Amino acid sequence: MKKYIENLRKKLHKANFDYYVNNKSEISDFEFDNLMKELIELEKKHTDFYDENSPSMRIGSDINKDFKQIKHNNKMFSLGNTYSKEELIDFDNRIKKLLHEENYEYVCELKFDGTAISLIYENGNLKQAITRGDGNYGDDVTENVRTIKTIPMVLDGNDFPEKFEIRGEIMMTHKVFHKLNKERAEINKSVFANPRNAASGSLKMRNSYKLSTRQLDCFLYDVRGENLPSKLHFENIQMAKKWNFKTSKNTKIAKNIDEVFNFIEYWDKERENLNFDIDGIVIKLNSIEQQENLGFTSKVPRWAISYKFKAERISTILLSIDYQVGRTGAITPVANLKSVLLAGTRVKRASLHNANIMKDLDVKINDKVFVEKGGEIIPKIIAVDFEYRQKNLDKIKDANYIENCPECKTPLLRKDGEAKHYCPNKYSCTPQIKAKIEHFVLRKAMNIRIGKSTINLLLKNNLIKNISDFYILKENDLIGLERFAEKSASNLIKSIEKSKKVIFEKVLYAIGIPYVGETVSKKLVYNFKNIENLQKASFEELISIEDIGERIAISLINFFNDEENLLVINNLKNYGLNFKIKEEMVNKEGKLSGKKIIISGTFENHSRSKLKSLIELNGGKNVTSISKKTSFLLAGTKIGPSKLKKVEKLNIPMVSEEEFINMIK
């Protein structure tokens, strides 16, 4: 039976590789599904033949998990950036000098715009997958990575080193990215700004089953370890391809810097035909021995560099300007452009941000404007083509900033020191009400399952006027409305009911106080514990909290001075929403409360940023300079001698990483 299961696994691994990496299939989808079903059944029966790298693991698990932090065996460096040929010539001259006129050649690669990953293989099996993290420590995302079909779990052949590391970039193709965003928008979830964010956000999903449906991809570009098959980087990559890794077919050797320039020129144009994003090219010395001789500066390798493409730019005509009203009444001018194709997408609109930016650009209607697109979805207007204006003065019309709200006609205000204009009509300006409600129901807020069009429907039928009205809705109010049947009505009411369990920090975020985002909300909740304390807090008390500045403090005070807001909060309280921190969180927080803690040295199992956030989560404060008031020093290895001396002199206790973790357990 063991042999039979192993054969089944081999067949499925091969079929997967053929389909996802080689884009060919020798067996049909139907056959594949049947073989997979059979394997899963057999694995259930014969648990003693468990294999962490079985093809069945590609499906993922729906158990949510937190990621363990792991120290990289070799630090994950980033690359130096260049933007001009001159800088590349300088790089080439530095190499020449450092190699004392030895012969050398470069390997040119695409610079994949995704998120870096380090994969460890032992005896041809995937053992561990770690994100870049801070370069020294990353998150263990092995289980998630097993769901990425282009990453082999078991290697082909027998000429790979016993143990090695391979690095690459986890990516999302344009097609998958657009589909994902479309689906998210339909269910009122925030969309990802670009495929890079979508890839890194997906990789950190806590539920690997859901991740397996995201169709991530991965290009591998760096093999490291002892006993590698070749002394040349290029050849090792070709070998990796033979072991079943997905490598780029566009990697090329360049004998000199002119050949590097040819590669750059080709890809600067050709990149728009790729089905994924690249943001430049990478140039590396081919000889691993030369790479090792040159080594690294404190941040980047001396043997490699990246050349970043300039953001793509195009000119088009500005047809008109719309003014959008946001949740807090802030007005954003948006340019309507004569549609143009830019970096593979059709561009019709661009944000103009605020009146100051419009004034600085000096834009007018019917101007020709230069539009630029970096990695983000929304393009920017960077300048006006004044030459065109001069020739077409008869067409050009002034673009005067509006004085009244485009929706409710209330005169706009502009607060001192703020760039944006506001519509002060908070309670009856329709787009503000709509946006507040849309914010309230977000997944990261109250998580009420309702789309934008249904919100419109409820508003139109006067069933809701503000966020608290959700909680008086009844199934009967909904049945009979357009698109509402009994089932959908009952689902919505259930989802509203469920939202009463949402924790305080999310409720506080959901009620939409200007400048109170998710992080600020968390801070306020840990510090004030309940809404009454927060409501009473003075300006001084508020700004004494780390990361709460004057702007947030003023916004909070204004919010709680407003009768209408107090009424809504009171209603929400009466409907049973959480307006105080959960008891267990208070206790947990108390463990380090009032303690001032220094972090020093290097640590085995946690990164410094993780330790810092553990301190804060438990009510302590991470301080950087030693004084009599320091409670203890969280000590790793390699603490500097002067720090040690000071700690001893002031009699400050030292706590090891393990003791610290036990303290907060």
Q: Cβ-count burial of 118 within 10 angstroms (0-12 exposed, 13-18 middle, 19+ buried)?
A: buried
Kindly name the residue from 111, 246, 436, 506 that is annotated as catalytic. 111
The values of phi and psi at residue 586, to 5°, are -65, -45
User: Which residues have C-beta within 8 Å of that of residue 154, sequence separation ≥ 6?
Assistant: 9, 13, 53, 124, 125, 126
Angstrom distance (rounded) from CA 198 to CA 170: 10
Angstrom distance (rounded) from CA 429 to CA 324: 12
Residue 111 among the catalytic residues: yes
Residue number with CB closer to ligand IVH (132 or 421): 132
User: Cβ 82 to ligand IVH, closest distance in Å?
Assistant: 12
Residue number with CB closer to ligand IVH (112 or 160): 112
Q: Which residues bind ligand IVH (CB under 6 A)?
A: 77-79, 109, 111-112, 116, 132, 169, 221-222, 282, 301, 304, 306
User: Cβ 116 to ligand IVH, closest distance in Å?
Assistant: 3
Nearest to 153 by CA among 133, 124, 181, 126: 126
State the amino acid at position 10 in one-letter form.
K
Residue number with CB closer to ligand IVH (79 or 154): 79
Give the start-end residues of each E strand in 296-419: 304-308, 312-325, 331-342, 345-351, 368-373, 380-384, 413-414
Closest residue to ligand IVH using C-beta atoms: 116
Nearest to 172 by CA among 200, 147, 205, 140: 200
Q: Where are the alpha helices (DSSP H) in 422-537?
A: 430-440, 452-460, 475-478, 486-498, 504-510, 518-528, 531-536
Angstrom distance (rounded) from CA 229 to CA 471: 66
User: The tokens of 138 are what?
Assistant: 């990353």
The values of phi and psi at residue 437, to 5°, are -70, -40
Residue number with CB closer to ligand IVH (233 or 364): 233
Angstrom distance (rounded) from CA 40 to CA 500: 39
Strand partners, 335: 321, 350
Burial 535-571 (b: 16+ CB within 10 A, else e): bebeeeebeebeebeeebbbbbeebbeeeebeebbeb
Sheet of 115-122, strand order: 125-131, 115-122, 163-171, 217-224
Residue number with CB closer to ligand IVH (196 or 420): 196
User: Cβ 304 to ligand IVH, closest distance in Å?
Assistant: 5
Other Cβ atoms within 10 Å of 336 Cβ, number:
15
Q: Give the position of tokens 């695409």.
A: 110
State the amino acid at position 133 in one-letter form.
G
Nearest to 201 by CA among 210, 192, 190, 213: 192
Other Cβ atoms within 10 Å of 648 Cβ, number:
10
Q: Cβ-count burial of 521 within 10 angstroms (0-12 exposed, 13-18 middle, 19+ buried)?
A: buried
Helix (H, G, I), strand (E, B) or coil at 67: coil
Count how many Cα atoms sit within 13 Å of the Cα of residue 309 in the half-sphere of its side chain: 27
Nearest to 577 by CA among 465, 445, 403, 384: 445
Residue number with CB closer to ligand IVH (55 or 138): 138
State the amino acid at position 275 in one-letter form.
N
Taking the mean position of all CA atoms in its chain, how far away is CA 446? 21
User: Which residues have C-beta within 8 Å of that of residue 226, sequence separation ≥ 6?
Assistant: 161, 163, 164
Nearest to 57 by CA among 142, 167, 115, 117: 142
**Contact yes or no for 389/364 (Cβ under 8 A):** yes
User: Cβ 222 to ligand IVH, closest distance in Å?
Assistant: 5
Residue number with CB closer to ligand IVH (222 or 505): 222
State the amino acid at position 568 in one-letter form.
V
User: Cβ 215 to ligand IVH, closest distance in Å?
Assistant: 20
Residue number with CB closer to ligand IVH (294 or 516): 294
User: Cβ 122 to ligand IVH, closest distance in Å?
Assistant: 22
Active site residues: 111
